[in-house]
Amino acid sequence: MRKRTITNGVVWLGAVDWDRRLFDSLIPLPDGTSYNAYLVEGSEKTALIDTVDPEMAGMLLSQLESVETIDYVIAQHAEQDHSGTIPQILERYPQAQVLATPKGKAMLVDLLRIPEERVTGVADGEVLSLGGKTLEFLYTPWVHWPETMSTYLREDRILFSCDFFGSHLATSDLYVTDQGLVYEAAKRYYAEIMMPFRAIIRKNLVKIKAYEIGIIAPSHGPIYDKPAFIVEAYEDWVTAEPKNSVVVPYISMHGSTRAMVAYLVSALAANGVTVHQFDLAVTDIGKLAIALVDAATLVVGTPTVHVGPHPLVANAAYLANALRPKLKFASIIGSYGWSSKAIERIAGQIPNLKVEILDPVMCKGYPRAADFEALDRLAAEIAAKHRELGLA
Ligand code: FEO
């Protein structure tokens, strides 16, 4: 992709990674991603904001061929998808100085072995004039590491936000053209890497709303020229209260747990509760993470494997525990052949979830009438709990 002008003196650089399907060897990228960098040229100095994943270094370096001088490299986040090409930039521009938060400086030295003397720490609120272009650095921690910051360009009212507001979405469009598509991609990204830190992100949102922002330029996905859309979405995601919804991740080996899940989901729907059902054998784990953003209740469905839960269910419970969603209630349903400790093992896996455990329903073999009645009671209890919280 060629470099593209945003406003006079502000240019998009970077790489669209259409084919990448996995991030951190963990996170599915069904729609690819992009690594956005930005060049800000003042009358006296030039700054490069973030770089690209080192796999795509050649693209950024070719876009910079006609740029003779870079004075500053603003490293808003030390993760390698944004910082990984900094060493090559410093080699090409020996006079360039990297600017980062003090925590970011330490990480850049540790992760990329950038010489300490090439990195300068900046303070929260510190201002850098490039000559007619004034950059203000705003600490915005935990979007997505503790060292992250955003950068506000005063004259053009642009907020460069790195992962914050970003979306894993490969597109040829410089700006958001399909809000629905971007909403899902941005929610996926928030769910997978930022959800545990939402209390701090709430403060970051208050902080950036003090600025008049015309454009939000993240380091993944398209640029927001109507930024209210994504700011309002974040405000919804980080609210303290969940919605009237239940997430049901499950595995079934011989059909018993599947029959229980189908019955429970139907009963919940009949009680006016929104349900998101995921067969963990085939699901995109990012979709599960998205559903967890709003869910009030988690019901895990598992068969019994060597006395414990199925390993894929254990994996999903581990993920839910790590993401610390807003869940208020949890339960377990499933089956066993001769004995099971699945309930105790799953309950022991989710200490981070401050949930009330509702009576589990485990059946021996294929569910009988009494098991279906127990599922009816569980569905009615979940619906009643949600009503008590004012969610329904
Ligand atoms: Fe896009 Fe946390 O890096």
At 95, which amino acid appears? Q
- Secondary structure element (H or E) that encloses residue 382, with its range: helix 369-388
pLDDT(210) > 90: yes
pLDDT band at 240 (very low <50, low <70, confident <90, very high): confident
CB distance 371 to ligand 1 below 6 Å: no
pLDDT(275) > 90: yes
pLDDT(25) > 90: no
CB distance 163 to ligand 1 below 6 Å: yes
Rounded Cα gap, residues 297 and 12, in angstroms = 42
CB distance 188 to ligand 1 below 6 Å: no
CA distances from residue 224 to 31, 156, 166, 190, 229 in whole angstroms, order as listed: 18, 14, 10, 16, 8
DSSP character string of 107-171:
HHHHHH---GGGEEE--TT-EEE-SS-EEEEEE-TTSSSTT-EEEEETTTTEEEEETTT------
Q: 259: CA distance to ligand 1 center in Å? A: 40
CB distance 50 to ligand 1 below 6 Å: no
> Which atom of ligand 1 has the smallest separation from the CA of 80?
3
pLDDT(26) > 90: no
Q: CA Rg, the chain, in Å?
A: 24
CB distance 385 to ligand 1 below 6 Å: no
CB distance 31 to ligand 1 below 6 Å: no
Q: pLDDT exceeding 90 applies to what percent of the chain?
A: 97
Q: 79: CA distance to ligand 1 center in Å? A: 5
- Residues near 241 by beta carbon (within 8 Å), at least 6 away in sequence: 326, 389, 391
pLDDT band at 180 (very low <50, low <70, confident <90, very high): very high
Summary mean pLDDT of the chain: 97
pLDDT(122) > 90: yes
Domains (range + CATH), the chain: 4-238 (3.60.15.10), 247-387 (3.40.50.360)
**Average confidence (pLDDT) over 214-222:** 98
pLDDT(24) > 90: no
Q: What would the two tokens of residue 6 be?
A: 């945003």
Judged on CB neighbours under 10 Å (0-12, 13-18, 19+), 69 is exposed
Q: For ligand 1, atom 3, name the residue with the nearest CA.
A: 79
Q: Compute φ and ψ for 194, nearest 5 degrees.
A: -115, -20
Rounded Cα gap, residues 111 and 119, in angstroms = 13
pLDDT(232) > 90: yes
CA dihedral over 228, 229, 233, 239, signed as positive or negative: positive
pLDDT of residue 27: 85
Q: pTM of the predicted model, to two decimals? A: 0.95
CB distance 77 to ligand 1 below 6 Å: yes
> Which atom of ligand 1 has the smallest separation from the CA of 148?
2
Judged on CB neighbours under 10 Å (0-12, 13-18, 19+), 380 is middle
- Taking only the tens place, the pLDDT of each residue in 313-367 is 999 999 999 999 999 999 999 999 999 999 999 999 999 999 999 999 999 999 9
Q: 215: CA distance to ligand 1 center in Å? A: 20
**Average confidence (pLDDT) over 163-187:** 97
pLDDT(18) > 90: yes
Rounded Cα gap, residues 71 and 96, in angstroms = 4
